[in-house]
């Protein structure tokens, strides 16, 4: 038993040391970190995107390609950075996988409805927001809810890592009602839970919700705390972050982003 | 405080500030695992005994149960119980789904373990018991099953270890178990490093003692068997 414990202790130490090592080396040369050059050299921009969010990033089942507003941003970035709008590689991510994928270097950027918060800025770099959206609620028509105020004691399905939980909780407290939350890894899982009556409302950013409305469901008029989406990159990759931020700001100013938002019907 | 290192010290501090969350999940995991284990053993013994009976129909039922639950993923079974049954009008709580889902699933494996244990007891035992007027239930209860316990305990413990780990399937259906809490914390705070390491450690704390005990027990059993093996010519003569 003692032997086992000591082995564990050693393993734990190695783990901690290994984790500390890269941080120590990268902070010293963060000024010119070569992250942009690395992308240019690789000749391909690797981006983590959603594949289950209609209009933002959704896999087209007939072509097998992921399509959407965020994929178009990837194409624009690939064109600017590498001169070829097809020089990109997409990795489907979920709220759970996008952080680790960025940290371990599998992807250069995350463009996956990643909401910017102050707390998250401690961990990743975020570009200027390319989209702003408020949280909404999708409910079954048959349930007869008119707004959040009618939902005292109900269960609300949210996505893991989504900021929507806090947003709704705040408003619920203001209205003097209590709601409970069930978290799921993906949006289709929340929709399934709504269909089966496991949750009373599907709560996520309004634009994402739009893709899940069907004959039996409707979006409530309530909107909560606007969320801003940013292109996310590793904290150390300053050069890449600055380059991307420059392009995004440019496209916001010249209306390119606005055009894409209209193209994907996200300006409701 | 700003750091991209997923294992940075401040992330650990932040997580341990929220330890109640992990505590709740841990407790839920233990509760589900304990009840599911009881269910699995009960089902396993019943179906294990049935599958060695002479009745063809009974054996068929046991076969269907084992094959169905062994050859479909637990994830699908649980997802079906969560959403499928709810649509059909039967709304089980996630706690109940955890106990039933994991218990029934592992019951199928335990049944195979019990069956192997029973068939490893020599036929002579049954014949001897029958000759003394024991009924089927009686000789199973007093003669066969007590002897199988020694044999099946190690594989049974492995099943228990797997069962504990498999309760993490609850995370998928918002089951508020340890894995769910770890997922929730990892994705909301982005501190996935400490979150999963800590959750892993808690699972390890549950499973490791069980697995070690099973291994030790098995080793002792083997040693005892080897010790007993020395050739005894007189015994040989009797059995011939």
Domain containing residue A163: 133-226
Strand order in the sheet with A124-126: A88-92, A45-49, A109-110, A232-234, A124-126
The reply to whether A52 falls in a domain is yes
Mean pLDDT of A163-190: 89
Q: Mean pLDDT: which of A12-26, A206-220, B193-207 is highest?
A: B193-207
A126 and A38 in a common domain = yes
The reply to whether A78 falls in a domain is yes
A256 and A243 in a common domain = yes
Tell me if B82 and A198 make a contact (CB, 8 A cut-off).
Answer: yes
Which residues from A are below 8 Å from B197, CB to CB? 15
Q: What pLDDT score does A154 carry?
A: 93
Q: What is the DSSP letter of A233?
A: E
Q: Taking the CA atoms of chain A, what radius of gyration do you get in angstroms?
A: 21
Q: For the whole model, what pTM was predicted?
A: 0.77
The reply to whether A14 falls in a domain is no
With cut-offs at 50, 70 and 90, classify the pLDDT of residue A23.
Answer: very low
Q: What is the DSSP letter of A107?
A: -
Percent of chain A with pLDDT over 70: 88
Which residues from A are below 8 Å from B7, CB to CB? 15-16, 19-20
A137 and A74 in a common domain = no
The reply to whether A5 falls in a domain is no
Mean pLDDT of B29-39: 97
The reply to whether A8 falls in a domain is no
d(CA A31, CA A47): 23
CB-closest option in B86, B91, B188 to A161: B188
Mean pLDDT of B223-239: 57
A122 and A56 in a common domain = yes
Which residues from A are below 8 Å from B202, CB to CB? none
Terminal Cα distance for chain A, rounded = 63
The reply to whether A201 falls in a domain is yes
The reply to whether A19 falls in a domain is no
A205 and A80 in a common domain = no
pLDDT digits (tens, 9 = 90+) for B65-101: 999 999 999 999 999 999 999 988 888 999 999 999 9
Closest CA of chain B from A225, distance in Å: 17
A82 and A140 in a common domain = no
pLDDT at A263 over 60: yes
A138 and A126 in a common domain = no
pLDDT at B240 over 50: no
A241 and A126 in a common domain = yes
Task: Lowest mean pLDDT of A75-84, A94-103, A191-200, A227-236, name the range.
Answer: A94-103
d(CA B2, CA B7): 12
Q: What pLDDT score does B150 carry?
A: 83
Which of A110, A116, A123, A159 to mutate against chain B (most B CBs within 10 Å)?
Answer: A123
Which residues from A are below 8 Å from B168, CB to CB? none
Please name which of A69, A52, A159 lies closest in space to residue A111, comparing C-alpha atoms: A69
A105 and A137 in a common domain = no
pLDDT digits (tens, 9 = 90+) for B151-189: 898 899 999 999 999 999 999 998 999 999 998 888 888
Task: Report chain B's mean pLDDT, rounded to a whole number.
Answer: 89
Tell me if B82 and A193 make a contact (CB, 8 A cut-off).
Answer: yes
* Domains of chain B by start residue, with CATH: 9-227 (1.10.3720.10)
Question: How does DSSP assign chain B, residue by residue?
Answer: -----TT-HHHHHHHHTTHHHHHHHHHHHHHHHHHHHHHHHHHHHHHHHHTTSS-HHHHHHHHHHHHHHHSS-HHHHHHIIIIIHHHTT----HHHHHHHHHHHHHHHHHHHHHHHHHHTS-HHHHHHHHHTT--HHHHIIIIIHHHHHHHHHHHHHHHHHHHHHHGGGGGGGT--SHHHHHHHHHHHHS-HHHHHHHHHHHHHHHHHHHHHHHHHHHHHHHHHHHHH-S--HHHHHHH-
**What residues 37-96 of chain B have any CB closer than 8 A to a CB of chain A?**
82-84, 86-87, 91
Which has the higher per-residue pLDDT, B229 or B183?
Answer: B183
Instruction: Enter the tokens of residue B234.
Output: 């007189």
pLDDT digits (tens, 9 = 90+) for B119-161: 999 889 989 999 999 998 899 889 888 888 888 988 999 999 9
pLDDT at A71 over 50: yes
A148 and A37 in a common domain = no
Number of domains in chain A: 2
Task: Report chain A's mean pLDDT, rounded to a whole number.
Answer: 86
A253 and A164 in a common domain = no
Q: Which residues does A contribute to its contact with B (CB < 8 Å)?
A: 15-16, 19-20, 22-23, 26, 95-96, 99-100, 103, 119-124, 157, 160-161, 165, 182-185, 189, 192-193, 195-198, 234-236
Tell me if B83 and A160 make a contact (CB, 8 A cut-off).
Answer: no
A234 and A161 in a common domain = no
Q: What CATH number did the domain enclosing A189 receive?
A: 3.40.190.10
């Amino acid at each position: 038993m003692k032997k086992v414990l000591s082995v564990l202790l050693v393993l734990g130490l190695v783990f901690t040391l290994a984790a500390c090592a890269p941080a120590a080396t990268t902070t010293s040369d963060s000024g010119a970190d070569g992250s942009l050059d690395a992308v240019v050299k690789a000749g391909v921009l690797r981006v983590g995107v959603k594949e289950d969010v209609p209009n933002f990033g959704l896999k087209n089942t007939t072509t097998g390609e992921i399509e959407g507003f965020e994929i178009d941003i990837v194409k624009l970035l690939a064109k600017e950075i590498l001169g070829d709008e097809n020089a990109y590689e997409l990795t489907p991510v979920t709220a759970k996988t996008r952080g680790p994928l960025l940290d371990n270097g599998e992807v250069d950027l995350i463009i996956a409805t990643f909401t910017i918060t102050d707390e998250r800025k401690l961990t990743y770099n975020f570009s200027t927001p390319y989209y702003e959206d408020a949280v909404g609620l999708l409910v079954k028509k048959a349930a007869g809810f008119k707004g959040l105020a009618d939902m005292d004691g109900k269960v609300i399905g949210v996505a893991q890592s989504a900021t929507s939980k806090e947003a709704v909780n705040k408003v619920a407290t203001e209205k003097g009602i209590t709601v409970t939350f069930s978290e799921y890894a993906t949006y289709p899982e929340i929709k399934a839970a709504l269909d089966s009556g496991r949750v009373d409302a599907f709560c996520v950013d309004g634009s994402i919700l739009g893709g899940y409305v069907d004959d039996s469901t409707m979006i409530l008029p309530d909107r909560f705390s606007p969320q801003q989406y940013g292109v996310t990159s590793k904290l150390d990759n300053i050069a890449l972050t600055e380059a991307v931020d420059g392009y995004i700001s440019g496209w916001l100013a010249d209306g390119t982003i606005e055009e894409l938002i209209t193209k994907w019907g996200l300006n409701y | 405080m700003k750091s991209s290192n997923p294992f940075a010290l401040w992330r650990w501090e932040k997580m341990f500030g929220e330890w109640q969350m992990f505590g709740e999940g841990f407790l839920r995991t233990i509760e589900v695992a304990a009840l599911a284990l009881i269910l699995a053993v009960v089902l396993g013994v019943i179906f294990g005994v049935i599958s060695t009976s002479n009745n063809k129909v009974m054996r068929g039922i046991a076969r269907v149960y084992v094959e169905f639950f062994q050859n479909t993923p637990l994830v699908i079974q649980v997802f079906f119980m969560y959403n499928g049954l709810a649509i059909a009008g039967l709304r089980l709580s996630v706690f109940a789904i955890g106990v039933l889902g994991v218990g029934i699933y592992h019951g199928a494996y335990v049944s195979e373990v019990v069956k192997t244990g029973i068939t490893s007891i020599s036929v002579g035992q049954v014949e001897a018991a029958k000759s003394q007027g024991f009924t089927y239930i009686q000789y199973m209860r007093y003669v066969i099953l007590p002897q199988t316990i020694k044999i099946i305990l190690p594989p049974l413990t492995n099943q228990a270890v797997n069962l504990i780990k498999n309760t993490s399937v609850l995370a998928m259906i918002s089951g508020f178990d340890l894995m769910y809490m770890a997922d929730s914390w990892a994705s909301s705070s982005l501190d996935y490093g400490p979150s999963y390491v800590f959750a892993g450690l808690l699972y390890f704390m549950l499973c490791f003692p069980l697995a070690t005990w099973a291994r030790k027990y098995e080793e002792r059993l083997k040693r005892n068997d080897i010790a007993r093996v020395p050739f005894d010519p007189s015994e040989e003569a009797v059995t011939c």
